[in-house]
Each structure stands twice: as structure tokens, then as C-alpha cells.
Amino acid sequence: MFSNSRSRLSLKVGALFAATALALTACGGDDAATPDPADTAAETAAESMEETTEETAEETQEGEEQGASDLTITFIPKQLNNPYTDVVLGGGETGAEEAGFAEWNIVGPLDASASSQVSFINAETQAATDVIVIAANDPDAVCSALNEARDGGASIVAFDSDANPDCRDVFISQVVAEDVAKIQVEMIAEQIGGSGDIAILSATANATNQNEWIKFMEEELASNPDYADINLVAKVYGDDDDTKSFQEAQGLLQAHPDLKGIISPTTVGIAATARYLSTSEYKGEVALTGLGLPNEMRSFVKDETVSEFALWDPAQLGYVAAYAGKALADGTISGEVGDTFSAGEMGEREVGENGIVIVGPPVRFNADNIDEYDF
């Protein structure tokens, strides 16, 4: 805004001096009763310059008062064209608009490989974007680029999948990671009767959130006596790609014919696995649970391919992330433990240990409640 005001001032002043020069060279005659055109032009120029300066000062003050409206925010998801991501980003756009950002953008790769986000981060750094919100495909692969963005003045918000804490300001987490893991283990145990072989079909091998959940799942299976008869026999990765996830699910059943259950902590993976099971001989024989979108899983619940799965409201992730970015850019928070900020309809949020902000608890979806949700 300030640069635009300066430009308008320069144009107006330049035009006034040109008009004055023209008046001086075009005037003629020597009549004492007639005011000197040069004096008149000079007075007019001085008055106009004074008015212009006052106008510019008002514009500058207004710009300072509305400084927040100049802020820009860009969301960089793991990958574009992912149904779960679309819901998250929809919440992000709503939050960005409500928080008062002047401009918000979405950029990102079509694949979820480790380094695919780096070029997009670099482009935002060059564009001097104020806030970058990222779901990291790899916590370390993006770190150097994010630190360059921070050096350039950007605030960094990680959401959904964390970046290395050394290169972001806060992380907006769905829920407490351990709780996400435990609820999935609990569901699979209930569905297979507390004993048998199970497998995990994850997203990418480097995904921060997936790996943290899997770590807690393994710890829960190993330490909780209620799960002593459950054996985790395989972990495979569908790379959040529908076709590959479908093939990995098929491969699991071929490699482990005694498999009793599959946990897929990824919305792409659980939907692809459900599609495979629904038309296979394993329907009703192999349990499937994990994290899924109600709208994608509804038909599989109703045809009894899946009995229960879980998730949070993904839109809330993007929504809170936008408000966190605004608070960082405004200087309301710095990412320190105990910092608080307003997140619109989500209320006050507090920054916890390691710069983590928790959105809310997961919900179990089954035949009794799935029609109550639309996302």
C-alpha cells in the first residue's frame, strides 16, 4: 500500500511541475492589471502539492492501521487432488478469509515424494509470502528451504504432517498422536476378537504423522496385555496413491493368507483397501479400520465391508492453521509454550510443548452415526 501511495504522489507532483513549466513558457503580455500567470501557476502547484501530501499521509496512516490486510498466506499440502487434502484446504481458505489475509493461495506437488515440495517453498520465498502453511512429506527434506523462507521474513506453520521443529514456528496437530494410535489399535482389536495377525497399510515411508502413529501402535501392541495375542506381521506403503494402495492391499492378502485385519491410517489407503475387500473373497473375513472420510467410506460401512473407522474434522486443521499464521505474522504469538491466540469459531488455542497446537479429539464412525457427517 505504501509503495502505491508513493507512486501516486510522484505522478501527481510530476504532472504539476509540467503544468507549471507549460504556463511559464506560454504566458505573454505585460499588463499590470493582469495577474502574472507564472505566480498563479506556482501558487496552484504549491496548493495542489500540499493537498496531495495530506492525501498521501492519510493513505499511509490508513495503510498502517490496515497493515494486516496486506498479509499473504500460501498452503502447501502433501499433494494436490487428494480428497482429504481438499477438505483441509477448504477449511484453510475459510480461516484465511476470516482472519483477514489479503491474499491466500494453494500450491503443491501432484505426488507425495520427499523433496517434491521444495521448489514450491522456494517460489513462495521469492514472492515474499508472509505465511507458509505446509504438510511436510518429509520432516527434514523441506527444512533447508523453510529456513530460507524464515530468513526472508515468513512465518512457518506446519499442519497435518509436521516438519522438523527447527524449521517451523508451530505445528497444528489433529489430535494427540498417541491417542490416534491407540484408538486404531483398539478398533482393530475389537473387530478381530482380540487375537490374530494384522498389517498396516500406510501412506509414504517418510510421512511424519504416519510414522509417529505407527510407532505408538507398535508400542501399544507390545506393552498392553489386552493385545498380547495380536501380531503385527507387515507394514506396507501405498504412497497416498489410490492405485498403489489398492495393489498393496491385494499383495498383503496374498502374502499373508491368515491375515485377520488391516489398519490403514490414511484416507487414501483405507478407501482403496475397502474397495478391494468389497469385491473380494475376503469381505467379511478380514477387518479393516483406520482413518477415513465419512463420505468416501459410507458405502463400505453400509455394505458391511467396514464396521468402524475414525477421523477428526479435517477442515478444522486448515482453519486453525490460518489463524495461527495470522497470529504469528501479527506478532501475537511466537510459538512459545503457553502462547494463546484466537481461532475464530474454534475459540482460543494454546501452544503446547514443541510448538504443537491440538485441534480436537477423533470421532469413531460406524453405521449408527455416519449419516450425521458430510465431509
pLDDT digits (tens, 9 = 90+) for 228-285: 999 999 999 999 999 999 999 999 999 999 999 999 999 999 999 999 999 999 999 9
Grid cell digits, residue 132: 507458509
Contact 153, 130 (CB under 8 A): yes
Residues of the chain above pLDDT 70, percent: 82
What confidence category does residue 14 fall into, taking pLDDT thresholds of 50, 70 and 90? very low
DSSP character for 77?
-
Which comes out higher in pLDDT, residue 284 or 45? 284
Nearest to 203 by CA among 361, 78, 75: 78
Q: Considering the entire predicted model, what is its pTM?
A: 0.72
Q: What is the mean pLDDT of the chain?
A: 86
Q: Cell for 46?
A: 504549491
Model confidence at 112, pLDDT cuts 50, 70, 90, reads confident
Distance, in Å, from the CA atom of 167 to the CA atom of 147, rounded to the nearest integer, reads 5
Is the pLDDT at 103 greater than 80? The verdict is: yes
Dist CA 108 CA 194 (whole Å): 41
Report pLDDT digits (tens) over 149-175: 999 999 999 999 999 999 999 999 988
Q: Is the pLDDT of residue 350 over 70?
A: yes
pLDDT at residue number 216: 98
Contact 331, 146 (CB under 8 A): no
The pairing of beta strand 230-237 with beta strand 259-264: unpaired
Pairing of the two strands 103-106 and 72-76: parallel
Report phi then psi at 104, rounded to 5. -135, 140
d(CA 94, CA 91): 5
- Say yes or no to pLDDT of 348 above 80: yes
Asked whether residue 32 carries a pLDDT value surpassing 80, the answer given is no
Q: 229 vs 115, which has greater pLDDT?
A: 229
pLDDT at 69 (0 to 100): 63
In contact, 362 and 314? CB cutoff 8 Å? no
Rounded to 10 deg, the angle between the 267-278 and 294-302 helix axes is 20
> Does 13 or 153 have the greater pLDDT score?
153
pLDDT in tens, 61-96: 443 333 446 999 999 999 999 999 999 999 999 999
Q: How confident is the model at residue 113 (pLDDT cuts 50, 70, 90)?
A: confident
88, 315 contact by CB (below 8 A): yes
